[in-house]
Amino acid sequence: MIFDFLSPQEIVLVIITLYCIYTDLRWRKIFNYVTFPGIILGLGLNLIMHGASGLAIAFLGMLTGGAIIFLMYLAGGVGAGDVKYLAASGALMGPSFIFRATLYGIIGGGIFVVLYMLFSGRLKRLIVDTADIFRRTIMMKKLDVTSFETDRLYIPYGVFLGIGVLVHLVEIKGIINI
């Protein structure tokens, strides 16, 4: 059969994902009042439905989801809401699901950012500035990024992460094959 009914975890995942996409687009924020209950529901539903092993998988999924983009968070590329959203999605669906779903989201978001920078003229400036930093670093034998001007680009990355989650969910349901 092409489409199986959604499990309780998948229903919660879809609801949380759609809401997080909406709030990230509208307010550029993913709220704790969505992500924390998602984590609790993920852990609880997996415990109820699969016992201690389900809880262990949900916990590992939560850690995997949060850890995958934690370095991007530290670098300022994503917000804390994105990290918590992936932790909630991982708690609901497990580590293997969230790993692949996040990969889809990161690739999609990365393609969008590169295309946006290309068509807005920012890509050329970024390349020139980066080359200048390398040149000065080699000449002065120390890294100096103080003169590197950043014109911050705010991308609601949770949208791409959410799309990655939905695409992978549709994929595992057999509707599409990637």
Return the residue matching tokens 């993920």: 42
Could you read off the pLDDT of 15-71 as tens digits, one per residue?
A: 999 999 999 999 999 999 999 999 999 999 999 999 999 999 999 999 999 999 998
Which tens digits make up the pLDDT trace of 74-114? 988 899 999 999 999 999 999 999 999 999 999 999 999 88
- Give the pair of three-digit tokens for residue 53: 């092993």
Q: What whole-number distance in Å separates Cα of residue 37 and Cα of residue 20?
A: 13
- Per the CB < 8 A criterion, the answer to whether 178 and 166 are in contact is no
More confident position, 118 or 63: 63
Three-state SS for 77?
coil
Cα separation, 132 vs 7, in Å, equals 53
Percent of the chain past pLDDT 70, that is, above it, reads 91
Q: Give the closest residue to 17 by CA, choosing from 160, 156, 173, 162.
A: 162
Which pair of tokens denotes residue 26?
């509208």
Q: For residue 76, give the DSSP letter.
A: T
**Predicted pLDDT at 174:** 84
The alpha-helical segments, DSSP class H, found in 69-177 are 70-74, 80-93, 95-120, 122-140, 157-172
Tell me, what DSSP letter sits at residue 7? Answer: P
Other Cβ atoms less than 10 A from the Cβ of 77: the count is: 16
> Contact at 8 Å (CB) between 14 and 6?
yes
Given a cut of 90, whether residue 142 has pLDDT beyond it is no
Report pTM: 0.85
Residue 1 pLDDT exceeds 60: no
Instruction: Please tell me the total number of residues recorded for the chain in this structure.
Output: 178
